[in-house]
Amino acid sequence: MSDSLRPSAINSQQGPAALWGALPDSMQSVALRLAALAILCLLLSLASEAFFTTSNILNVLRQAALLFLLASGLTLVILTAGLDLSVGANVALSACLAATLIKGTGSIAIGVVAGLSSGLLIGIANGLLITWVRIPPFIATYGMLWILHGITYWFMKGETIHGFPPAFRAIGSGYWLGIPVPVYLMGVFLLIGLVFAQRTRWGQEIYAVGANPEAARLSGVPVKSRLVLVYAVSGAMAGLASLIFLARLNSAEGDIGESLTLPAIAAVLIGGTSLFGGVGSMLGTLIGALILTLVLNGMNLLAINANWQPVVTGVIVVLAVFFDNLTRKGDKR
């Protein structure tokens, strides 16, 4: 097609293909994932009658809520082609800090503020290490993971802190109008995340930084402060998730967040956010978290030996990204 300057004919496909073609990339990947989620629910409800009961659905939603809160912060980080391996350790430290303060001062507010701010500070530290000291995100957050674990172990000395006031425990295991509280939080932060990513200037700048950081910098976008912002949000969300964990488990110990980091990253990847940056959505991450939790819940209900769970999780992550490569139009990075 010659490089003539005449505006070429508007997209000529007719019918549904045009409709599908017209959908921007991110909407297509979300639609595909919703379909996969629906099929999964159908299969599970056929396979085990205990699946499609309200109590199980609420149970799945609550488990997915915790995973989503952690993964939502991570989504922004991965959008900038970065990574945060320290979220699990962040949850551990923030939870123990909050637990100690709630027990010590007896006031829930102080504990909650402590948990959130510790998460935020850890996130900011990650951001500064990556932007000012210029250490690759993978290694910076890996180092931070060890430092945080060390601090938590030193701080907790192997103790566990248990038994918290019912008011605090409500945010983790409480019900309101029959629906677990964390599910509301999931809804609220899904909205905040969507609005922030799609409907604010900073969100657009984060997508641009992920797509081409040098072009963003040379367009006057403050790349460094956006990166610090992204890691700070990821840290803060880990702080929030730690509070809910604390409330739900009703006790804090050294390795509370240990097993959360990889599932959270998996949820983001299954949700369609690309590791190369610039592509992805918060809605996708929610669906990713739901798919991951549903599969594990289904396996438990069908009493499939727990040993198979890591195998299934691994296969799903690869399949999700493989289908993405197929559907994404010519975005061979």
Enclosing H/E stretch for 176: strand 175-176
CB of 8 to another protein, least distance (A): 6
Enclosing H/E stretch for 162: strand 161-162
CB of 111 to another protein, least distance (A): 18
Nearer to another protein, 76 or 249 (CB): 249
**DSSP 3-state of 145:** helix
Quick one: tokens of 59? 């149970």
| Residue 179, phi then psi, degrees to nearest 5 | -115, 135
Nearer to another protein, 121 or 275 (CB): 275
> Would you say 245 and 140 are in contact if contact means Cβ atoms under 8 Å apart?
no
Nearer to another protein, 113 or 200 (CB): 200
> Would you say 247 and 170 are in contact if contact means Cβ atoms under 8 Å apart?
yes
Which residues have C-beta within 8 Å of that of residue 228, sequence separation ≥ 6? 124, 127, 128, 131
- Find, among 178, 218, 222, the residue nearest to 202 by Cα: 222
CB of 184 to another protein, least distance (A): 15
CB of 254 to another protein, least distance (A): 4
Nearer to another protein, 37 or 202 (CB): 202
CB of 191 to another protein, least distance (A): 15
Nearer to another protein, 230 or 269 (CB): 269
Nearer to another protein, 58 or 113 (CB): 58
CB of 42 to another protein, least distance (A): 18
CB of 10 to another protein, least distance (A): 6
Q: Specify the length of the chain in residues.
A: 333
Which residues have C-beta within 8 Å of that of residue 81, sequence separation ≥ 6? 210, 213, 275, 276, 277, 278
Nearer to another protein, 39 or 331 (CB): 331
Q: Render the burial of 228-251: b for 16+ CB within 10 Å, e for the rest.
A: bbbbbbbbbbbbbbbbbbbbbbbe
